[in-house]
Amino acid sequence: MPQPAPPEQGSQGYDRGYLLTEQANPDSQNLDRLSTLEVVELFNQEDAKAIAAVGEQKAEIATAIDVIAAAISKGGRLFYIGAGTSGRLGVLDAAECPPTFCSNPELIQGILAGGMNAMVRSSEALEDREDDGAKAIADKNVSNLDVVFGITAGGTTPYVHGALKEAKLRGAQTIFFCCVPPEQFPIRYDVEIRPLVGAEILAGSTRLKAGTATKVVLNTISTGVMVQLGKVYGNRMIDVSVTNSKLEDRAIRIIRDLTSLSREEASTLLEQSGRRVKLALLMHWRNVNADTAAQMLQSANGRLGDLV
């Protein structure tokens, strides 16, 4: 098998055809002649392979969760960084953490080549700029407290590697996600997650299976981290941000389910807590006011389970 060139050497003339993510899928070679139902069935079959590939990386994903949770517990931050679909999925996961877990938006951040404009308008050429990736990390003042998580389906994106190299220079821990095996791209980072989803239905279109695997991995990691940080009690999002009617209803139902209070009583308790579910639950279970409950939670580093 041809040896891969370092990503910083990539150019229009560099042949990436050996990469698993760029190969043609024999099961979809007649894609343009399939019926609509056959296309849907094929996607379903291939997506199942993506989920299975993620399952093969369980140990690595668990390690990533432990690394990130430990860093955040010590005052660090997590930065996802990528280009195109990979970067957009990182931004999406970061954006979903504050409303789900009431986390500080600075805690988990997504960095996308081309900035937020690239979320809705293609700017794929920017992925070739390694220096831009390094600058993005410098602009965030990344330090040895932080974790930088590079996402690149094919493994070679210079923007991502520029960011990860700069992060390493600054002493940050580095996590690397790609969908190609080590022999196609050598190991160089602290934690590597490599779900080998195989060739895409549409050759080279890594927004498909690779994108699915990326979303599954990020879902697992961010949720696992928040569980470790005490943002979850049982399987309830007790730090949910109560910012609209849907989330208010969810908050009331969580309180009702865990306390057996009536809906009216749960709603009153929620208001007394300052619309903070975790605080409301502790107030009820320990029969204390909001200020006392807040002090108790602070002493337990926000871990409700340690107090009940």
Neighbours of 277 (CB within 10 A): 28
Whether 96 is a known active-site residue: answer: yes
Element (H, E) at 96: helix 84-101
Structure tokens at 308: 């009940």
Q: Which of 60, 127, 130, 166 is catalytic?
A: 127
Whether 46 is a known active-site residue: answer: no
DSSP one-letter string for 14-35: ---TTSGGGSPPGGGTTGGGS-
DSSP one-letter string for 207-245: TTHHHHHHHHHHHHHHHHHHHHTT--BTTB-TT----SH
Measure the CA angle with vertex 134, ends 129 and 138; round to 5°.
145
Displacement of CA 141 from its chain's centroid (Å)? 21
Determine the Cα–Cα distance for residues 271 and 299; give it in Å rounded to an integer: 23
3-state secondary structure at position 259: helix
Which residues are designated catalytic?
96, 127
